């Protein structure tokens, strides 16, 4: 049975992403450039900074403000660490909830057995 995703990849990439993927990207890029009027199209390459973007938007370049770089190595590592900490806290919370539930059930079962069995040691006695 074909999934929607595999069907899409077969149709869009002609059944072979490795062979057709790059050309499909180039064709799509050219199609977008042809559809968008030149005055509404900015060809921006990362690292160019504020000037081309501000010129295109017809706004002044921000004074004393560095261009944001959200995917720099330091920021990436910090975001990964924060995400990992949050995931570990989530795991700890789930363990506490499940562990607490198991402990409460075991305690309740022990108390129930003790009530019915008591010190006799047998339910039948």
pLDDT 10s digits, 7-54: 888 888 888 888 988 999 999 999 999 999 989 999 998 888 899 999
Mean pLDDT over each residue of the chain, to the nearest integer? 86
For 36, phi and psi rounded to 5 degrees? -90, 125
Q: When comparing pLDDT for 54 and 68, which is higher?
A: 54
| The pLDDT value given to residue 32 | 93
pLDDT value at 113 more than 90:
no
pTM, two decimals, is 0.44
Instruction: Provide the pLDDT confidence category of residue 6 given band limits of 50, 70 and 90.
Output: confident
- Tokens representing residue 93 in the block: 């919370």
Residue with tokens 């559809």: 35
Q: What is the mean pLDDT of residues 92-97?
A: 92
| The pLDDT value given to residue 56 | 94
| The pLDDT value given to residue 124 | 54
Residue 15: CB partners within 8 Å, gap ≥ 6? 9
| The pLDDT value given to residue 10 | 82
pLDDT value at 85 more than 90:
yes
Cα separation of 74 and 17, whole Å? 33
């Amino acid at each position: 049975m074909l999934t929607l995703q595999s069907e899409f990849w077969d149709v869009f990439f002609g059944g072979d992403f490795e062979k057709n993927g790059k050309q499909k990207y180039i064709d799509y890029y050219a199609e977008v450039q042809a559809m968008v009027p030149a005055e509404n199209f900015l060809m921006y390459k990362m690292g160019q900074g504020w000037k081309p973007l501000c010129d295109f938007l017809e706004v002044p370049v921000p004074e004393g403000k560095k261009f944001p770089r959200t995917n720099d190595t330091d920021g990436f590592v910090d975001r990964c660490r924060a995400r990992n900490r949050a995931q570990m806290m989530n795991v700890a919370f789930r363990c506490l909830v499940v562990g607490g539930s198991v402990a409460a059930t075991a305690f309740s079962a022990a108390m129930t057995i003790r009530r019915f069995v008591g010190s006799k040691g047998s339910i039948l006695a």
